[in-house]
Structure 1
Amino acid sequence: MRARFTVDEIAAAALRIVDDRGLNALSMRALAATLGTGPMTVYNYVTDKTGLEELVVAAVVAEISVPPPTDDWRHDVYAVAQAMWRGVRAHPAAVPLILTRRMSSATGFAVAEALVAALTRAGLSDRDRLAAFHGVLGFVTGAAQAELAGPLATDTDDPGDAAARIGAVAGVAHPHIAALSKVAAQTSVDDDFSRGLQMLVDGIAAAVR
């Protein structure tokens, strides 16, 4: 007899809860209610809250379209990082789970594998490849956290609101932060991320040379 739900359906339902009601609303009971079944049925698919959180991350990762490799490793690193960025930003409430559980199972390895493969084609030494991988991954997740869950950010921000508040807090005591916050208030999040990512990729290329 066919199982009542697939694991993918369970994961998608868990992600909907996080998207609609926030991370604190995620529970076995809430998932059962969303699926229209009893809590004991859910335990046939996932054993505890940790497993449930890993399914949420799996659902986010499943939506990320990994770009096919090309002959240009720099293009590929940039494209994979952009795909990761878009995927994480699509589910802001899930960011804390992505930061803490993205590598806790093989579910999230497909995107990471594509990134490592692109860096391997660059001809980096093993240690440089590891450092570059951590650098790109940290940049993507850090940028997402700063935008979606960072200091002074709110759910209703337009792109310049958080930067303006940071500038106001910095005041005359921290003139460099105040000045940079004015630039940030006039720069789109996408453009800021793209520029930073390009600088990072250029730095990796310099290490190759």
Structure 2
Amino acid sequence: MNAGQPPYLRIVADIQRRIAGGELRPGDPVPTTRAIMRDWGVAMATATKALAVLKQDGSIESRARVGAVVAQRKPARSARGIERDRVVGAAVRIADAGGLQALSMRAVAGELGVATMTLYRHLDDKAELTQLIADAAFAEIDYPEPPPGWRSHLRVAGELQWAAYQRHPWLPRLVSITRPAPLPGLLAYGVWTLRALDGLDLDPSTRLHVYATLVNYVRGTAVNIETEAVALLDTGMTSTEWGRARLSVDGPLVARIADQGAEVDLDSLFAFGLERLLDGLTVVLGSPGSRR
């Protein structure tokens, strides 16, 4: 097992290995939550999430009065009627449940009940699939009427992007600043955001740098959402609760850099940093009501 993976994914991989190797056969009971807690030395939240991912990808199923068992292998259905949108939707559900580590062409095929090779009639490879789920995530954004002034407009753009990352914690890893994919959902976000700079006396390069700087700030902060979600499952504590619990141990060290009453979480960090970014952009763009 890969020690760099979150604990729940290592458990998923181990149980899937047992199923693939025939150690666990269709209909056999799988380890219970308590057994996973005992055998892998993890918290209940981690054990529960591992079983949820296994159920999501079709490896296990629930049976009345029995509990979780290895799922029966379903015969592959015909490729007819399988549309690309269904493939992308299944991939998004898998990534939401288990992260990008859980996403594979095989997992998507299992979710849809088709042969893995069927998917290659719609997609070239997993790389294309990850581009499409990123685009689908941005396509979910419901754009409001832009507020007046570039600062308010860019603030809303940052908040819309942040909300997309909160819905899909895997998404920041698929957003590229230097090699963006020209897909409809991603382009729609760029077009709406860049409207904030219309009417300003900016050359094309500066416009693009302003846009990329905003996107990169939000994405860079959002990469912590996924790790924080895993930590919450493993510890049962929010970052604020964890920090308070650590004060009894690390209090003297923390006091060297912050007052014990000071707190920071991802939402406050994002909001504070976004305002400071907008403050800095006034050097280039002028005051929000000006036209340069």
TM-score category of the 2 structures, normalised to the smaller one: 0.7 to 0.9
Aligned residue for 1:158?
238
Out of 95, 100, 106, the residue aligned to residue 29 of structure 1 is 106
Bigger radius of gyration: 2
TM-superposition CA deviations, 1:56-112 (whole Å, max 9, x none): 212211212233334322211111110011001111134322358982232311112
Aligned residue for 2:84?
7
TM-superposition CA deviations, 1:21-68 (whole Å, max 9, x none): 221221111111111212122111111110111122122112122333
Where do 5+ consecutive residues of structure 1 fail to align? none
Matching residue's letter, 1:10:
V
- The farther-off stretch of 186-195 and 197-206 is 186-195
TM-superposition CA deviations, 1:107-154 (whole Å, max 9, x none): 31111222222133444344432332122111110110134337xx72
In structure 2, distance between residues paired with 1:147 and 1:26: 18
Is this contact kept in 2: 1:95–1:144, CA < 8 A?
Answer: yes
In structure 2, distance between residues paired with 1:55 and 1:193: 26
Aligned residue for 2:175?
98
Aligned residue for 2:194?
116
Change (3 A) 1:158 1:99: farther
TM-score by length of 1: 0.79
**Does structure 1 residue 60 correspond to structure 2 residue 137?**
yes
Is this contact kept in 1: 2:154–2:196, CA < 8 A?
Answer: yes
Change (3 A) 1:166 1:99: farther
Out of 128, 134, 137, the residue aligned to residue 206 of structure 2 is 128
1:5 aligned counterpart, secondary structure? coil
Aligned residue for 1:49?
126
Identity of aligned residues (%): 27
1:160 aligned counterpart, secondary structure? helix
- The farther-off stretch of 117-126 and 19-28 is 117-126
In structure 2, distance between residues paired with 1:100 and 1:162: 33
2:220 aligned counterpart, secondary structure? helix
Matching residue's letter, 1:32:
A
Where do 5+ consecutive residues of structure 2 fail to align? 1-79, 287-292
Matching residue's letter, 2:278:
V
Is this contact kept in 2: 1:18–1:25, CA < 8 A?
Answer: yes
Change (3 A) 1:61 1:33: same
In structure 2, distance between residues paired with 1:127 and 1:204: 15
In structure 2, distance between residues paired with 1:104 and 1:16: 21
In structure 1, distance between residues paired with 2:90 and 2:152: 34
Root-mean-square deviation over aligned CA pairs: 3.3
Is this contact kept in 1: 2:254–2:260, CA < 8 A?
Answer: no
For this pair of structures, how many residues does the alignment match?
Answer: 202
2:146 aligned counterpart, secondary structure? coil
Is this contact kept in 2: 1:99–1:141, CA < 8 A?
Answer: no
1:44 aligned counterpart, secondary structure? coil
Aligned residue for 2:163?
86
Shift >6 Å, 4+ stretches? 164-171
Matching residue's letter, 1:199:
R
TM-score by length of 2: 0.59
Aligned residue for 1:198?
275
